[in-house]
Amino acid sequence: MKDSLFWRRVSNVLFFLLPLIPLHAQQLAFPGAEGFGAFATGGRAGTVVHVTNLNAEGAGSLADAVSKSGRIVVFDVGGVIDITNKAITIASNITIAGQTAPGEGITVYGGRVIASGNSNIIIRYLRMRGGKSVNQSKCTLTLDNCSNVILDHCSISWGPWDDVHIKDANNITWQNCIISEGIEPQRFGSITDGTRNWTISHCLWIDNKSRNPKMKCYLQYYNNVVYNYAMGIIGGHSAGDNYQDVMNNYFIAGPNTTGDKYFDDWTATDHLYSTGNYYDGNKDGKLNGTLITDHNSATPMSEPTLKCNGPMNLQTAEEAYYEIVDHVGASRVRDIHDRRLISQLTSLGTKGAFIANEEDVGGIGKVAGGTPVEDNDRDGMSDAWERENGLDPSKNDATAKTLGGGYTNIEHYINSLACKTAFVMYPTDVTATLLNPTTARINWTNNEPEAVANVLEMSEDGKEFVEIQRLRPSYAYAVVRNLTEGKLYFFRLKTLVEEGESAYSAVVAVNDEYMRPGGGTPAGTSTFTPKEGKYYRILNYATVPFNSGTTIAGNPKYLCFNSNGTLGSTEEYRWDDTALMWDIQPMGEGFSFRNVGTDKYISAANRTIASADRIGTSDTPAVLTINYTGNQSPSQSGLKTAVSMYRINSPSSSNMQIRARKFPDDWFWGSGTLDRSDMIFTFVEADIQQVTPVAPLQARAQATGYYDLQGHRLSSPPVRGIYLQRSSTEDGRIETRKLVR
């Protein structure tokens, strides 16, 4: 089944719609809306608000955009919105148009999304992934006491209690959504209590132990697929009466499915109309289920109970399966997790698993941001689309109804984006491994179904890449031979399609040990000797800086100068950050320590912050000693072996040791005999040529002089015009002034 099936379905819905609009004088939320929530108005005729960043809160954030009623929310950014330990609360009369996000779209991660008590909400093409940071008694999405809500093409996962909680709600539709991978402690899909007039259609319920959903409600449930479950759909089994119309769904056993528990926990108070439902329990990789004829203790009904004015596109269970494979979830561009889940589903019994939390499946991962459309009048519609449809791209006409059909212009625009995009997916999960000192193997995952080739590029500096292989789209690895032993090489990939290409994959490298976080000096190196052509990162693994009870199980902390001029450390890591690198040179009976990023030296004096002698200079470099204390095995080093650890002492300051706090008053503390975990260090070398191809003094000389506004150096200042003058100060900084002649 290809895209034609999707558009046939939209046509069918529009066919059903024709007699409904004049009869009920109601406008669908969007073309293709079905069921009891089909007439939600969302933010129609409201203000268009742009999400301009991926912040958890504040101006330009999604949280701020949905905090006030009467808004249509569009996105200028794609990516992951990390709301760890926070929640996003959605007001009434809101449309969230996730399909407007560039790149791979939007994922909300690490916290909760709550719309409780509010009404008229449209959410489309949005991923909501809770995770282990969510309170264990809470859910990823909560819709309690809501009314007139429709979720379309959303992906909801990683809820600790359930993925979704919905109680006492009314006139609700979930369609084309993925509800997946409920996590510990329950691993459940969704629970409801008291909800009325609820439609769930064309949704995928996958890798939930139970509650797909629990139906303590009045529910219209058709054309869904439930895959890899322990218990499938659950009856209300309560004292009150519940009514469930369950039609043309497919229940497919996966690796965690045992027994035929597609219908479970039903009692006589559940009034079940069941027709056209199939169960495929043989896990043989083929779709070959059989018709379900039992009702599992529910009271059987001879006809549907619920009467709905909204459109209903009822397909066979098999047709629904193929449509779900093609279009379910935030599928304009599927992220790595939805692609993984669809791969499990299409294995038809051989793939899939319940998970404890997101770490079992690699964490949240990355979502490509893409490039926003050009929208000069900021009305939420791309300038190109406005021109194509006879609108004025310089006029804010979002809420006008120029294009007819009962929808505002902005609604026509966002509805036009509700299909698979032309965004070309790049290879992911790229790794580079040395098979031997001169041969590397590059592995990756292909994600673009329309690919015609993959291009592998290589670089020796991480900046200038050249194509080295062009491979068939079915290939997921390449072997690169004739490398120079011990030399650093970088690799990246892109995917080609007939009329375009993807963005580049992540860059990976071989012989890149010094680029990775963590590490340390090889164990047993009792005498540390700096090498020519190398800078060094100085690492400490203390769990608590400057604390006698600390251990070496902490994250890598890199010695650096604090912003206030004191000596400290940071966990913020970038492999080419010169502020984390030290030029260590022999001097007298010890060494000098120059910070590459600031061109400052560690002073041997034990002075206060206010002292002018706090930082040494090239005129007065201090002598420090490096003293071996033995081997240690920091758990966060990233190494399987132990590393050598050292004290850094000041002979001119009672042989006291360096300490690295965030804002210390003194640099040194204690006698040279102390061996505390927060005062011992290890070293990782970095190649000077990879980090700073121009020596600091040469760079300083080149930086001084006259430049135009584009940064091009001038041989002399111009006779007239605007230019920049750069000069070095006594402390080595480069100052820039704008001059006008």
- The domain of 388 spans 373-408
DSSP track, 158-176 = --SS-SEEEES-EEEEEES
In a domain, 417, yes or no: no
In a domain, 680, yes or no: yes
pLDDT for 723 beyond 80: no
On whether the pTM is more than 0.85, the answer is: no
Same domain, 322 and 185: yes
pLDDT for 702 beyond 70: no
The three-class DSSP label of residue 98 is helix
pLDDT digits (tens, 9 = 90+) for 199-218: 999 999 999 999 999 999 99
Q: Give which of 625, 637, 631 is closest to 542, Cα–Cα.
A: 637
pLDDT for 311 beyond 70: yes
Across residues 349-366, what is the average pLDDT? 94
Same domain, 381 and 476: no
pLDDT for 714 beyond 60: yes
- Supply the pLDDT for residue 666: 57
The three-class DSSP label of residue 27 is coil
pLDDT digits (tens, 9 = 90+) for 71-90: 999 999 999 999 999 999 99
Same domain, 146 and 10: yes
Q: ω into residue 185 within 30 of 0, thus cis?
A: yes
Calpha distance 457→308 (Å, rounded): 56
DSSP track, 42-80 = TTTTSEEEEE----SSSTTSHHHHTSSSSEEEEES--EE
Same domain, 398 and 444: no
- Supply the pLDDT for residue 295: 76
- Supply the pLDDT for residue 724: 64
What CATH number did the domain enclosing 25 receive?
2.160.20.10
pLDDT for 125 beyond 90: yes
pLDDT digits (tens, 9 = 90+) for 436-463: 999 999 999 888 888 999 999 999 888 8
Calpha distance 316→311 (Å, rounded): 16
| Strand pairing class (489-497; 508-510) | antiparallel
Pair 66, 73: CB distance under 8 Å = yes
Same domain, 277 and 191: yes
Across residues 281-297, what is the average pLDDT? 92
Q: Give which of 24, 79, 357, 335 is closest to 207, Cα–Cα.
A: 357
pLDDT for 701 beyond 80: no
Calpha distance 160→138 (Å, rounded): 6
Q: What is the DSSP letter of 53?
A: -
pLDDT top residue among 279 and 576: 279
In a domain, 421, yes or no: no
In a domain, 177, yes or no: yes
Q: What is the DSSP letter of 681?
A: B
Same domain, 254 and 346: yes
pLDDT digits (tens, 9 = 90+) for 2-42: 344 443 444 444 333 333 333 344 899 999 999 999 999 99
Highest mean pLDDT range out of 117-126, 394-403, 545-554, 666-675? 117-126
- Supply the pLDDT for residue 672: 67
Same domain, 644 and 537: yes
- The kind and range of the H/E element at 258 are none
Give me the torsion for CA of 467, 472, 476, 479, rounded to 10°: -50
- Supply the pLDDT for residue 613: 46
Q: SS in 3 state form for 376-400?
A: CCCCCCCHHHHHHCCCCCCCCCCCC
- Supply the pLDDT for residue 686: 85
- Supply the pLDDT for residue 676: 82
Indicate the pLDDT class of residue 731, thresholds 50, 70 and 90. Answer: very low
If one counts the domains in the chain, the total is 5
Using CB atoms within 10 A of its CB, is residue 738 exposed (0-12), middle (13-18) or buried (19+)?
A: exposed
Q: Give which of 500, 501, 480, 493 is closest to 444, Cα–Cα.
A: 493
For the annotated catalytic residues, the residue numbers are 211
Indicate the pLDDT class of residue 386, thresholds 50, 70 and 90. Answer: very high
Same domain, 244 and 229: yes
- Alpha-carbon distances, residue 347 vs 255, 324, 358 (angstroms): 10, 14, 21
Same domain, 353 and 387: no
pLDDT for 492 beyond 80: yes
pLDDT for 511 beyond 80: yes
Across residues 340-359, what is the average pLDDT? 95
- Supply the pLDDT for residue 20: 36
- Supply the pLDDT for residue 604: 74
What CATH number did the domain enclosing 580 receive?
2.80.10.50
Looking at 669, 691, 713, which one is the last position of a domain? 691
pLDDT digits (tens, 9 = 90+) for 605-632: 655 444 444 566 666 678 899 999 999 9
- Supply the pLDDT for residue 488: 87
Same domain, 20 and 142: yes
In a domain, 414, yes or no: no
What CATH number did the domain enclosing 457 receive?
2.60.40.10
Same domain, 597 and 682: yes
Task: Using the structure block, give the residue that is written with the tokens 């070095």.
Answer: 728
Across residues 713-741, what is the average pLDDT? 59
* Cβ partners under 8 Å of residue 723, min gap 6: 706, 707, 708, 709, 714, 717, 738, 739, 741
Looking at 511, 539, 560, which one is the last position of a domain? 511
- Supply the pLDDT for residue 713: 59
Cα 267 to its chain centre, rounded Å, is 42
Same domain, 278 and 322: yes
In a domain, 575, yes or no: yes
In a domain, 416, yes or no: no
Indicate the pLDDT class of residue 652, thresholds 50, 70 and 90. Answer: confident
Largest CA distance in the chain: 96
- Supply the pLDDT for residue 425: 83
In a domain, 66, yes or no: yes
Calpha distance 559→660 (Å, rounded): 7
258-262 LR contacts (CB < 8 Å, sep 24+): 258/230, 261/229, 261/230, 261/231, 261/232, 262/226, 262/232, 262/233, 262/292
Looking at 491, 511, 531, which one is the last position of a domain? 511
